[in-house]
Amino acid sequence: MLLCHATALIFFLYIYFSDTEGLFLRSQQPYAIRGETFTWVCNKRGQQNPENVVFLKFGNGRSDINSLCTVKMGMSGCMSMVSRYSRYKCGCINNDTSSMYLNITNVHGDDDGKWACKQSSINTVYPVYLPVYYGPENVRILANTRGRFEFTEGDNATLTCDADCKPQCNIRLYNKTINISDTSSVNKKQLLSSNGSLSLVNISRHINGSTIICQAIHLHPSFSGTSVTTEIKLKVYYVARNIVFSTTNNEAVIEGQDVNITCSSTDSCYPPCTFKWRFISPHRYYPSQYINHYSRNSDIGILSIKSVNRRRSGEYRCEASNSRHSRLHKYRNLILTVCYPPQIKYLRSDATNNKINEGSNITLTCSVDSVPDSNISWSRSKESQLPTIGGKLFIPIATCGHADDYTCTADNGVGQPDTETISVYVRCKLGLYCSKVENSEN
């Protein structure tokens, strides 16, 4: 762009001022290259008295004009040169007072700007812009996040690469990381972006350790593809995705047994995680307490309880975390059920002293504590198994024949079944109690 503008400008000035008297700058190239030599040619057009010729450089300010080199003219033509700067040399070309040169050796960045040449007594000038090309240099990669190229899995980030170049360089980002098992990829870089901007969405652990190269290439022909590269390494922190137990998520053990449940992950954490078990409910028993002792960077967590007690039933959590990266944690819950055999808390009836009148109803209630729940069955001395299942036995419109010993049996498959017996008395219409079982009267 700059190149085109400069060329157009010079061309335009040439056409426009070709009929005008004055001094005009020309050059072979419409740009200078930093560090190299550049030559301005100042041509006189029209009839003018031989007079000193001054090469001017305009600064940024309006009145900021520097006289850098003066060609002194005498009666007999070109005399000498005056310059305060060793980099600037001027004179007449072939001892011709209508054609002067200004040689700039070791072009500097601040030679970039507008130039002109003029006769010392004439104030009209025709400035020409000279761009100074350079680069690439100061190639740098930046991330739009705080941590320097350190991310957490799932983050989004944009990497941008910049370089100091004139005219602008072409900037490319490559993945340098070589896949060792793929021989064809060795020394082959994978192009990630050809505009210097790389968007990383939902950053994955797979890019951890990747080396990103930024290459700034000068495409201007005078630089013949000069390129400078810089590289950075990506770091991605992540936590295990998949936590597993050595048992099911819903584990039942029998009271008195030892519990030994291991928690680990099928994938890894970076940096390494610590696995901790915590009892989370019901809180009244062990408020938010860590169950096991854990060591730093242990890659498993063990829930270990000797001779487990029924109050240890509840929900446990195994958490994988890294204390330095609090955002990185993952957990899985486990329900521990401690089973124990049935114990009949009471067996009673809704009748005073278990005595009812003939024709009344009576309900027997058998209350059992057990985990898991028990199957409750009923029997009586006269009849081994009653059809009723469950904690309540209802006897409607009792008759004399219902007077008996009733037994409640609770069985949950853990340990021995528990039994309890209750005697039911039925008062006959005659006011007498029906004889129950003979031997239970004492």
Ligand X SMILES: *[C@@H]1O[C@H](CO)[C@@H](O)[C@H](O)[C@H]1NC(C)=O
Contacts of 70 (CB under 8 A, 6+ apart): 52, 53, 54, 55, 81, 82, 83, 90, 120
The answer to whether residue 89 forms part of the interface with ligand X (CB under 6 A) is yes
Q: What is the DSSP string of 383-442?
A: BS--S-BSSEEEE-S--GGG-EEEEEEEE-SSS--EEEEEEEEEE-TTSPBPP--GGG--
The answer to whether residue 270 forms part of the interface with ligand X (CB under 6 A) is yes
> Taking contact as CB under 6 A, which single stretch among the options 107-115, 128-136, 179-187, 425-433 is the one that binds ligand X?
179-187
Nearer to ligand X, 206 or 283 (CB): 206
Smallest separation (angstroms) from ligand X to the CB of 359: 9
Smallest separation (angstroms) from ligand X to the CB of 158: 9
Report the residue number whose CB is nearest to ligand X.
182
Nearer to ligand X, 33 or 428 (CB): 33
The answer to whether residue 147 forms part of the interface with ligand X (CB under 6 A) is no
What are the strands, taking DSSP E only, across 120-238?
128-130, 132-143, 150-152, 157-166, 170-175, 190-193, 197-200, 211-217, 227-233, 235-237
Nearer to ligand X, 56 or 203 (CB): 203
Question: Which stretch of DSSP H or E encloses residue 3?
Answer: helix 2-16
Place of tokens 């854990």: 294
Residue 2: φ, ψ to 5°: -60, -40
How would you label 143-156 residue by residue, b for 16+ Cβ within 10 Å and e otherwise? Answer: bebeeebbbbbebe
* Calpha distance 403→73 (Å, rounded): 148
Secondary structure, 3-state, 209-228: CCEEEEEEECCCHHHCCCEE
The answer to whether residue 20 forms part of the interface with ligand X (CB under 6 A) is no
> Taking contact as CB under 6 A, which single stretch among the options 43-51, 151-159, 324-332, 338-346 is the one that binds ligand X?
151-159
- Tell me the sheet residues that pair with 265: 243
Among 121, 202, 224, 326, binds ligand X (CB under 6 A): 202
Nearer to ligand X, 109 or 154 (CB): 154
Nearer to ligand X, 22 or 301 (CB): 301
Smallest separation (angstroms) from ligand X to the CB of 381: 23
The answer to whether residue 209 forms part of the interface with ligand X (CB under 6 A) is yes
Among 156, 323, 357, 440, binds ligand X (CB under 6 A): 156
How many whole angstroms from its chain centre is CA 203? 5
The answer to whether residue 411 forms part of the interface with ligand X (CB under 6 A) is yes
The contact mask relative to ligand X for 420-439 (x = CB under 6 A, - = no) is --------------------
Instruction: State the Cα torsion 241-242-243-246 to the nearest 10°.
Output: -160
The answer to whether residue 399 forms part of the interface with ligand X (CB under 6 A) is no
The contact mask relative to ligand X for 55-84 (x = CB under 6 A, - = no) is ---------------------xxx------
Among 39, 52, 227, 381, binds ligand X (CB under 6 A): 39
Smallest separation (angstroms) from ligand X to the CB of 439: 30
Order of strands across the sheet that contains 88-93:
22-27, 38-45, 96-104, 88-93
| Interaction site with ligand X (CB under 6 A) | 37, 39, 76-78, 89, 95, 103, 154-156, 175, 177, 179, 181-182, 193, 195, 197, 201-202, 204, 206-210, 233, 235, 246, 260, 262, 270, 304, 361, 375, 396, 411-413
